[in-house]
Homo-oligomer: A and B are copies of this chain.
Amino acid sequence: MIVPGYTKYCPYAEGELGLPLILLTNDDGIFAPGINAIRAEMEKLAGVEVWAVAPDRERSASGHAITMYRPLFPLKADIPGATAPCYSVTGTPADAAKLAIDELLPRRPDLVISGINRGPNLGTDLFYSGTVAAAREGPILGIPAIAASLDSWTSLDYGVAARFTAQLALKVLKEGIPAGTMLNVNVPGLPDAEIQGVRITTMGRRLYRDQWDKRQDPRGRTYYWLAGELMELDNDPDSDVSAVEAGYISVTPVQLDLTRKDQLERLDGWNLKL
């Protein structure tokens, strides 16, 4: 059985399938300013229907965790000024996106937007990010998706990121992206005028040094707490990391297929046997 949309381009074409439905989600929680910035921006657009379904609290670094051993409660969230229906879910970002798509939304959404994330999701961050995982539920279920992040922890003006993401969303709805694909967007934490432009990028690398604080608890037991400072790596100039460092918005096409194809023949040559 072919899952609709999974092996083809996104089926949405302007006007053809009626009002497109857009799911907003994130990992910072339904009350975070980033999701509300993109929600407000999407609500301004004529001709799209918007729902927001996100975790009930911050769930950063959740990766693609899902909840199997306890139930999830969706709850209507009262967001000041919102016209879109907003719900919190008592689970991970991927739980919220999956439950929204499968059960809460009135029909199958045409696009998933996850973000705007507080802090960047560049390079290796893509594995740890709950925001990226929530977006990834889109292509897993045959729906195009965008993950969007702001490269700042302090100057948190989501305006530029929200406007760019809304514009990109319309482009994706119109042009489509291939099945099994999402776009990962990172916006520099700069005022509009200082942003250099937009670059289509590859996924770079990020690593952290001195990762752990080693301490003693009040009973003398040793514990570790994840810390770490970003390392300067030699990143490709085409990478997301380099683009954002240089003041550009990065847009990386990200795929579900993890196969390292150039190793298939080499491994075949190992003649592995039981």
Q: Are B273 and A202 in contact (CB under 8 A)?
A: no
* Docked-complex contact A212 and B102, CB < 8 angstroms: yes
Task: Point out the residue from B103, B140, B168, B203 that lies within 8 Å of A259, measured CB to CB.
Answer: B203
Does A126 lie at the interface of the complex (its beta carbon under 8 Å from any beta carbon of B)? Answer: yes
A63-103: which have CB < 8 Å to B?
A: 63-68, 70-74, 92, 94-95, 98-99, 102-103
Count of chain A residues near B, Cβ 8 A: 89
- Is A226 positioned at the interface, with any CB of B under 8 Å from its CB? yes
- CA distance in complex: A197, B231 (Å): 43
- Stoichiometry (number of copies): 2
Return chain B residues, CB-CB under 8 Å to A207.
3, 140-141
- Closest Cβ neighbor of A164 among chain B residues: B274
Which residues of A come within 8 Å of B, CB atoms?
Answer: 1-3, 6, 60-68, 70-74, 92, 94-95, 98-99, 102-103, 124, 126-128, 130, 133, 136, 140-141, 160, 163-164, 167-168, 171, 175, 177-178, 181, 183, 192, 195, 197-198, 200, 202-203, 205, 207, 211-212, 214-215, 217, 221-226, 231-234, 249, 251-261, 263-264, 267-268, 270, 272-274
